Amino acid sequence: MQVKNKIAKLTKSKGYSSFTAALLAIFIGLIIGYIIMLIASPANSLSGIAMVLVGGASRLGDVFYFATPILMTGLAVGFAFKMGMFNIGASGQYTMGMFFALYAGFMWDLPAGIHWIVCVLAGMIGGLLWGLIPGILKAILNVNEVITSIMFNYIGMYLVDMLIQGNATMYISSKTRTDYLPSTAQITSLGVQNSNVNLSIFIAVAFAIILFIVLNKTTFGYELKATGFNKNASTYAGMNGKRNIILTMAIAGAMAGLGGAFAILAPSTIPGSSMTYEPINVIAANGFNGIAVALLANSNPLGIIFSSIFVSYIQRGGTLASLFGYKPEIIDIVIAVIIYFSAFALFMKTVVAEVLKRRKTEKASTGINSDQPLSATEKEDV
């Protein structure tokens, strides 16, 4: 009986409804993805969609490796969103974090076991700075954070590309890429064959849990969410809005910066090599994927853990679907559709619930309620 009650309570909770909404959105997204595959190449569509669905399972290591940075950028977007701010600058913060991590990795000679930790912290600080500035501009001069953070995406990206190309230790111009990082700067691998997956996935999950606790258990989280829900009421209650804006953007930036660090400090599968960065003046896609991840999880940090893994999973599947001649971009379409429907699905869910409820009450009262025939006869009278 108690278990039943608990289940009933769970199904009525807010988290459950966003979860079912997300599932519904994913389902519709995949169906539309399948339809597109069907149009593009009917013969291969079944094996193609099957690859999208199960392909990730054969590359679980990579699923977690690629989930790590978007988990972090997802947190960067979701956390700021809880305060009512749209941090579209996760890409720039991510890139800055990556650069700081690279710099610490190449330029500082530190003992193994400490070096990579310092690199991670440097990445965090890089992202933090890049989130802090739009935060300060917003708090003090009331400049819209969407605009500044978009601009900071570009400033960050060009700045980083310039700095890297100008640094002979980091950059190998013949390869147009950064050099391999010293092994001390690389994060410990988890030893999965053919995969870059490393310790950072656990650190990322830990940060998600920490942010969840901050949001739900602390006075800072209480203030932050209150401000997001009703800015006037938070002012009225004497909350320090300016400080909170700056703090929130700094934390968000730090999360994205960690994402950049985690992505670049990963060990490569080939011994002696590492991940490299190619400065080709492109905004980091992981920042924008963070927006998708956050939206899908309704900005809930715990939800973001799962949504990032899911997005990474179908991205792996999508890459493998190219074996059947499909472009991996098909997955971007699927993700886009999922985002559309995850907003829509919340609405759908209430409609479905309403219809079900009405059907129930109507069934219960069919004997007494002769609604339909009555109105029909009245129409005849007129």
Partner 1 sequence: MEDYIIEMLNITKEFPGIVANDNITLRLKKGEIHALLGENGAGKSTLMSVLFGLYQPEKGEIKKNGKAVKIHNPNDANDLGIGMVHQHFKLVEIFTVLENIILGVEPSKMGFLQKKQAREKILELSEQYGLKVDPDETIENISVGMQQRVEILKMLYRENEILIFDEPTAVLTPQEIEELMEIMRGFAKEGKSILFISHKLNEIMAVADRCTVLRKGKCIGTVEIKDTTKEELSKMMVGRDVSFSVNKKAHQLGKVVLSVRNMTVPSKLSKKNAVKNVSFDVRAGEIVCIAGIDGNGQSEFVSALTGLEKLSGGKISLCGKDISKASIRTRSKAGMSHIPEDRHKYGLVLDYTLEQNLVLQRYWQPEFQLHGFIKNREVRSYAEKLIQGYDVRSGEGPVTNVRSMSGGNQQKAIIARENDKNHELLVAVQPTRGLDIGAIEYIHKQLVAGRDAGKAILLVSFELDEVMDVSDRILVMYEGEIVGELEPKSVSVQELGLYMSGAKRDKAKEIENAG
Using CB under 8 A, list all residues that contact partner 1: 217-220, 222, 225-226, 229-230, 232-240, 358, 361, 365, 369, 371, 374-375, 378-379, 382
Give me the least distance between CB of 3 and partner 1, in Å please. Answer: 21
**Smaller CB distance to partner 1: residue 150 or 226?**
226
> Cβ 361 to partner 1, closest distance in Å?
6
Which string of b and e fits 252-284 if b means at least 16 CB within 10 Å?
bbbbbbbbbbbbbbbbeeeeeebbbbebeeebb
Residue 109 or 380: the one with the smaller Cβ distance to partner 1 is: 380
> Nearer to partner 1 by C-beta: 177 or 225?
225
The torsion angles phi and psi of 198, rounded to 5 degrees, stand at -145, -175
DSSP-based three-state secondary structure for 369:
coil
Q: Pick between residue 13 and residue 176 the one whose CB is nearest to partner 1.
A: 13
CB of 345 to partner 1, least distance (A): 20
Closest approach, Cβ 375 to partner 1, in A, equals 4
Nearest CA-CA partner of 270 in 201, 199, 193: 193
Nearer to partner 1 among residue 7 and residue 374 (C-beta): 374
Measuring CA to CA, how many Å separate 15 from each of 12, 144, 301? 9, 30, 12
In degrees, rounded to 5, the angle at the alpha carbon of residue 188 between the alpha carbons of residues 97 and 319 is 70
In 3D space, the residue among 134, 139, 123 whose CA is nearest the CA of residue 88 turns out to be 134
Tokens representing 177 are 């890429």
Instruction: Check if the beta carbon of residue 73 is closer than 8 Å to that of residue 204.
Output: no
Identify which of residues 356 and 382 has a Cβ nearer to partner 1 in the complex: 382
Distance of closest approach, residue 218 Cβ to partner 1, in angstroms: 5
Shortest CB 217 distance to partner 1, Å: 5
Nearest residue to 317 (alpha-carbon basis) of 306, 333, 330:
330
